[in-house]
Amino acid sequence: MPLTAVGGGELMTPVLRVEDLHHTYLPGTPFEAVSLQGVNMEVQEGEIVAIIGPTGSGKSTLIQHFNGLISPQRGSVTVLGQDLRDHDLDIKRLRRQVGMIFQTPEQQLFEQYVGDDIAFGPRNFGLDAAEVRQRVKRAMEMVGLGFEDFKDRLTFSLSGGEMRKVAIAGVLALEPRILVFDEPTSGLDPATASEFLAKIRELRDLEKVTIIIVSHNMESVAQLADRIYVIVQGQSVLEGTPQQIFSQSDQIRDYGLDTPQVTQVMQGLRSCGRPVRADLLSVREAEEEICRCFDLTERQVDH
Ligand SMILES: Nc1ncnc2c1ncn2[C@@H]1O[C@H](COP(=O)(O)OP(=O)(O)O)[C@@H](O)[C@H]1O
Ligand SMILES: [Mg+2]
């Protein structure tokens, strides 16, 4: 596999590489829909990479390639050294390595008891009872559900946020190396959503899981991602750090996307002639910068 130079010239092998990927749904029929037409991306181990783009731009189609739900029609996808076009691809192994969490994962719960739902995957992969229990316990703790408290609860008596945690724990119990989320915070209230995003970061920081996240929420993408890919009409059109991406606000708006509100405020101040930095992404950084520019102490604005 080719090597990529990152940082101080250190050589790393990406855990995921997409080259010139194309996909058309129902080709040759009247319902033919071209959804990917040249996507390139690369993800390094332990990164949090966000994929953003307008509705219908191909984000969900792209990520369904990562665990083999869709096979490459043209171009290639390589995950943890496995070329997904290989006829002897071990799909079971791939599904264990790449956990996929769709938009409303709680809809996929089906066992009566929480513990059984989370245990379903590990049992299916033939692990023994002690190992299953250990993994369920660990996965529940990772998402913030106490094992003793929740394992025997009725799945469908839980709140929406708790059910989503159960669904995620079910994927974590397989101990994936890559976790792919499609709109993980959709439908959650703001407090639960930010608790979720903090958990995702923790998974990367503590468990070294590589995270790929599709999101419409520019605030959370800006806070969470190390790098962002912008997908428009089935093509990867921009790649960079959140600062690099959101400082190109005209282009981002042309693509039908928003920039974080903090960035909009700072750019507004700049266009009024105030010499503030416009590439800031968090409220805290913006507050400091505004105080510096207007020569205020932070205490004065802190009310
Ligand atoms: N199962 C499908 N059958 C036919 N067309 C589809 C299917 N899923 C998606 N598409 C089409 O492919 C394009 C990309 O869709 P999708 O990958 O869901 O985009 P996104 O996730 O960015 O909203 C859209 O034009 C969509 O209508
Ligand atoms: Mg989608």
Please state the rounded mean pLDDT for residues 38-54.
97
Quote the percentage of the chain above a pLDDT of 70: 94
Please state the rounded mean pLDDT for residues 220-235.
95
User: pLDDT tens, 173-227?
Assistant: 999 999 999 988 888 888 888 888 888 999 899 889 999 999 988 988 998 999 9
In a domain, 184, yes or no: yes
With a cut of 70, say whether residue 153 has pLDDT above it. Answer: yes
Task: Please tell me the distance between residue 186's alpha carbon and the centre of ligand 1 in angstroms.
Answer: 18
Instruction: Give the pTM.
Output: 0.89
Burial of 254 (0-12, 13-18, 19+ CB in 10 A): exposed
In a domain, 149, yes or no: no
Judge contact between 221 and 242, C-beta under 8 A: yes
Query: Are 272 and 193 in a shared domain?
Result: no
In a domain, 157, yes or no: no
The protein residues having their C-beta less than 5 angstroms from ligand 2 (an ion) are: 60
Number of folded domains that form the chain: 2
For the CA of 231, the nearest atom of ligand 1: 22
Question: Which CATH number belongs to the domain containing residue 60 in this structure?
Answer: 3.40.50.300
Lowest-confidence region among 44-53, 141-150, 239-248, 285-294: 285-294
With a cut of 60, say whether residue 9 has pLDDT above it. Answer: no
Lowest-confidence region among 165-169, 234-238, 278-282, 298-302: 298-302
Query: Are 302 and 247 in a shared domain?
Result: no
Judge contact between 39 and 51, C-beta under 8 A: no
Judge contact between 246 and 279, C-beta under 8 A: yes
User: pLDDT tens, 262-277?
Assistant: 888 888 888 888 888 8
Burial of 303 (0-12, 13-18, 19+ CB in 10 A): exposed
In a domain, 153, yes or no: no
Take atom 27 of ligand 1 and give the residue whose Cα is closest: 56
pLDDT band at 171 (very low <50, low <70, confident <90, very high): very high
Task: Please tell me the distance between residue 32's alpha carbon and the centre of ligand 2 in angstroms.
Answer: 18
In a domain, 127, yes or no: no
Take atom 14 of ligand 1 and give the residue whose Cα is closest: 58
